[in-house]
Structure 1
């Protein structure tokens, strides 16, 4: 009996010690701080070594002064505050490929997306349970006016190269809960109240919770024209072409880049179609092209140049927007030169002459990803804020909310 009691006591003691040990480990992990000093040193040294010309727009003295201010005050800053300060510092480099990426961070997004159209932040995508506010405009977050919200967010939004991409990136960061809370816009980390106003000036307040992953139960506003029908099951949803009804034209939807050989095959298919149907006009839609391999894009230009039926004097159009970025901008500039294309739409979100070709490194402790530019491309004779269209057109919200693509409609009218 005594031996059983002693055995039981030993088991209790062992279990207690194991529990204490486990709790110590857990508390040690919870209280473990990121070695930001090491990360900041790696950030500075790596950017100076890897970027083709880190100080092309900000002086070394200015950059290091701000870097030192962060480094010397680390003990008084939270992790979120440090990340925000790094984001502001990185923005001073002033090229859209040098940025602090939050890809490795555990971030949450409120279930909506906004577009800045006709001087308002409109809801173009939202969770189905709140579909009643689709197409409304966002006017406040936790009672902070949207102008103040956008101003604060615009100063830390990343992948910004000019004033056009700044607006786009501001919108894409406006639903990240950690960013909003760190900027003292929201009161809670993952919950906020959003105020919307519809076309009849009716205001609606909705409290939303931020989500860790993208949900699939969304409704969103899409735009198009009746003359163009997307083919069923295209090989690439981001690269396809279709005839434009009642014209001698084709529409090429070019949103992203396939592998090199796939673009060769695509170009061959397009040229065969052009030749068989004696197509005279080509519209290449680059409005949502965020970048990729610009050399793959030149394969399309090479293929199109083989089509003799095209009106090479006045028959090629490229559509651009503030979302046209990186290789999308570079290819637009090349299409102007190689295809004699007329650019229609909004100025591009990146510059044709500037620092591009993005690579990255990871900070060892925080795991923040830092991107940087490896090359400089000169695709225009003068340095401009984006490619300025030959015909500048903006989205019209009255058309947009009804699903009408007024920019594409304008081009098609020129063909008839």
Structure 2
């Protein structure tokens, strides 16, 4: 009898310790949420422009109660929902400090289907297919749930981009009750012949994903070849073959000094070759320092051989965001550029100039807007192109860049 009582006491002590350890591992969300609300209120240029202060504070209190009984990721998802209600694409909960896992394939919304555009080489057969189910849940329902929480969304165009990039995050899918297991899920794809293909994927860390071989599409045009010895992979120029034109690939931003040198080299090439047309590709420019982009505009203004009436073209897409959008708007104004492609993922007039702070316990990074830029008197959902063009799936799978091809083929007709 004595041994039985002793055993019960040991079990009680054991479970008490386990309970304390589990609680100790949980984030102190009360401090984090206080930091979240006070810092945003102090630092954001206009925190309550879309959500009232009362609703914001009530939501923070509700999340504090949720945090007492739910795990950390559930709390983070609720915080993401609240942050999205602030209503600008630069105020967000960043997941960069979280050790999330992703399934090894990418999708894009092309012609109203979630097309597989990249996958691990061992599952190359799903390239060109459409994602239609996740663990048996129809893709329309999956997209609806994921799109409610995705961050860095400023309009319907960036919402599509962020949804696509979050559709493969396993922790998100699990806590949104889409998949049944945190690490594995069954995905259903539809091929061109309406055959369903089921693949069970395992979610991996970012470091593991980088070690894999992938099958993807190489999309471009035969008239443009990237130079072999470019200083930057994200910023380079090349002549357009058989055309009196030059192409500038502008995905991201160097320093001021580096852009000044780049601009000088670009103008030198344009002048020496008597170049008439220039295409500046901002379709994959997700942002940076817009004033560095202005340095490029300043340099180009010295290129007198350019046809400044009809010869400047800027390409945009729903990926174009933040400084990328601002530079597209400024190039239209300063360089008399024609905008070709899709509406941008952020708006030319709105809250920008992003900064950040970190929550003390969860280490979540919270970003926020410091400025309001007014680059268009008319409020629009993204920059609206002068010529609206979307990629065609059939051409995309063949590696043809529809937008760039259209511009090159129609230089003299704009």
TM range (shorter): over 0.9
Corresponding residue for residue 367 of structure 2:
371
Report if aligned partners of 1:135, 1:221 keep a CA contact under 8 Å in 2. Answer: no
1:212-361 aligned at under 5 Å gives the runs 212-213=205-206, 214-361=210-357
User: TM-score normalized by structure 1?
Assistant: 0.92
Supply the distance in 1 between the matched residues of 2:140 and 2:312 (Cα, whole angstroms). Answer: 39
Correspondent of 2:121 among 118, 124, 128: 128
Whole-angstrom CA distance in 2 between matches of 1:117 and 1:29: 45
- The counterpart of 1:51, out of the listed 44, 57, 62, is 44
Aligned to 2:86, what secondary structure does the other structure show?
coil
Q: Is the 8 A contact 2:66 2:75 kept in 1?
A: no
Question: Displacement, 1:56?
Answer: 1.4
Instruction: Map Cα deviations across residues 243-265 of structure 1 (whole Å, 9 max, x no partner).
Output: 11111000000000011111111
* Residue 156 of structure 2, aligned match among 150, 163, 185: 163
Report deviation, 1:57. 1.6
1:103 and 2:108 are equivalent in the alignment: no
Segments of 5+ residues of structure 2 without an aligned counterpart are 1-12
Partner of 2:183: 190
Match of 2:68 in 1: 75
User: Does the Cα contact within 8 Å between 1:123 and 1:134 map onto a contact in 2?
Assistant: yes
Q: Report Cα offsets for 1:41-99 as digits up to 9, x if no partner.
A: 11111110111111112221222222222223432322221111000000001111100
Q: Report how many aligned residue pairs link the two structures.
A: 396
Partners of 1:292 and 1:327 within 8 A in 2: yes
Match of 1:15 in 2: none
- The equivalent residue for 2:8 is none
Deviations 1:194-234 (A, max 9, x none): 00111122211000000112334112112101111111131
Tell me if structure 2 keeps the 8 A contact 1:51–1:373.
yes
Q: Secondary structure at the match of 2:370?
A: strand
SS in 2 for 1:92: helix
| Runs of 4+ residues deviating >3 angstroms | 24-27
Q: Deviations along 1:303-349, whole A, 9 cap, x unmatched?
A: 11101110000100000000000000000000001000000000000
Of 47, 51, 61 in structure 1, the residue corresponding to residue 54 of structure 2 is 61
Indicate which of 387, 397, 402 corresponds to 1:406.
402
Q: CA deviation at 1:157?
A: 0.5
> How far apart, CA to CA, are the structure 2 residues paired with 1:390 and 1:59?
36
The aligned residue for residue 9 of structure 2 is none
Corresponding position of 1:85: 78
Inter-partner Cα distance in structure 2 for 1:45 and 1:357:
20
Calculate the aligned-residue CA RMSD, in Å.
1.8
Q: SS of the counterpart of 2:197?
A: strand
Task: Specify the structure having the higher radius of gyration (Cα).
Answer: 1
SS of the residue aligned with 2:360? coil
CA distance in 1 between counterparts of 2:176 and 2:154 reads 22
Q: Shift in Å at residue 161 of structure 1?
A: 0.5
Closer/same/farther in 2, CA of residues 30 and 111 from structure 1, 3 Å limit: farther
Do the aligned partners of 1:330 and 1:379 also contact (CA within 8 Å) in 2?
Answer: yes
Equivalent residues of 2:341, 2:390 under 8 A apart: yes
Question: Which TM-score applies when normalising by structure 2?
Answer: 0.93
Residues 268-305 of structure 1: per-residue CA shift (max 9 Å, x gap): 11101110111110000000000001010011101111
